[in-house]
Amino acid sequence: MAEVTSEPQLQELVPGVHAWIQPDGTWWINNAGAVHSGGEVVLIDTCATARRTRLFLDALDAATGGAPIRLAVNTHLHGDHVYGNALLPDETVIVAHEHTRQGILQDFILANTPPVWSPTPEWGVDAVRAPTVSFRDEITLHAGGKPVVVRHPGYSAHTVGDAVAWLPEDGVLFTGDLVFHRVTPMIAMGSLDGALRSLDWLAAFEPAVVVPGHGPVVPGAAFAEVLDAHRRYYEFVGHTAETGRDKGWTPLEAARQADLGEFADLPDAERLVLNLHRAYADADGVEINIAAALGDAIAYNGGPLACAV
Ligand SMILES: [Zn+2]
């Protein structure tokens, strides 16, 4: 495994299978990947900004001898995984779950970024580029002769249209943001119940290596432990929401009363407020108010959310 560095790094997990790991995995700093086989590339996600996406694509170009990117998949709709789509060659076909395609088409952050993060990210991208192929349950892409199985869990979890990219021949699993490793998970645009349910679904792949959506690569032997940490966090969010609702507290008040315990050291702890807004909305059977949730996260944090993208 590659040495620890603060610079983004292309890690070749098995021959031809690359993870683009970007420390420190906090707001807007995601992981991506690529599968190179038979002289062509299938890409898994891009990055938030033009600068970061260019670094990724240049490193990949060097590692693959300039092999063409025929196909790309977006694991979900969030800008840190898709804004860089705009830098892909025109001939690259981009694939995503139908809800992810829809969500990307409705993106409102890139063109009009609210003052939530500090400093405000410099995207360097003029417009979102949406996938042109969508699927509902599963689709298999092929890099040369190597299959890349792209699969939706069947319900909302991190978002409404999550997908993993699974390499059955190599046992490598790209989870997108169904897994945040050593970073606070976020389910504001998905479902707390679904996120909990997705953990067993992820474990069933029995991967040899896992590339989370944020944070360092996870060896297969450590995956159960990482999923357990997610389970404990989601249960903590659930209990905090239940207590808060019982006492008549707002999500912000419930967050302020809660003891983060073992999760206090995870970066982006203010996501608790966003996650509580989701838990409350689901319990009340109403739509989440994302703008209000972000405002409360800023209040909890005592200012705009730190961002190093
Ligand atoms: Zn995400």
Beta strands 172-180 and 164-167: pairing type? antiparallel
CA of 70 to the centre of ligand 1 (A): 24
* β-sheet with 133-135: strand ranges across: 9-14, 17-21, 32-37, 40-44, 69-73, 93-97, 133-135
Rounded to an integer, the average pLDDT of 112-137 is 96
Residue 227 domain-assigned? no
Residue 251 domain-assigned? yes
Position 7, amino acid: E
CA of 185 to the centre of ligand 1 (A): 9
Name the residue range of residue 279's domain.
234-306
Pair 42, 127 in one domain: yes
CA of 239 to the centre of ligand 1 (A): 23
pLDDT in tens, 102-117: 999 999 999 999 999 9
Pair 214, 242 in one domain: no
Residue 203 domain-assigned? yes
Angle of the 290-301 helix axis to the 271-284 helix axis, nearest 10 = 140
CA of 176 to the centre of ligand 1 (A): 7
Residue 114 domain-assigned? yes
Pair 266, 128 in one domain: no
CA of 188 to the centre of ligand 1 (A): 10
* Dist CA 223 CA 257 (whole Å): 31
CA of 65 to the centre of ligand 1 (A): 30
Sequential DSSP letters for 155-201:
S-SSSTT--EEEETTTTEEEEEEEEESSS----TTS-HHHHHHHHHH
Pair 132, 271 in one domain: no
Residue 292: predicted pLDDT: 97
CA of 232 to the centre of ligand 1 (A): 20
> Domain ends where: 185, 219, 253?
219
Residue 6: predicted pLDDT: 85
Q: In what helix (H) or strand (E) does residue 150 lie, and over which residues does it extend?
A: strand 146-151
Pair 193, 278 in one domain: no
Distance, C-alpha 303 to centroid of its chain: 24
Pair 154, 187 in one domain: yes
Rounded to an integer, the average pLDDT of 142-164 is 97
Angle of the 271-284 helix axis to the 220-247 helix axis, nearest 10 = 60
Residue 5: predicted pLDDT: 62
CA of 177 to the centre of ligand 1 (A): 5
Identify the three-state secondary structure at position 301.
helix
Residue 224 domain-assigned? no
Pair 15, 115 in one domain: yes
Pair 138, 27 in one domain: yes
CA of 122 to the centre of ligand 1 (A): 18
Pair 294, 205 in one domain: no
Q: Residues with Cβ < 8 Å from 302, sequence gap 6 or more?
A: none
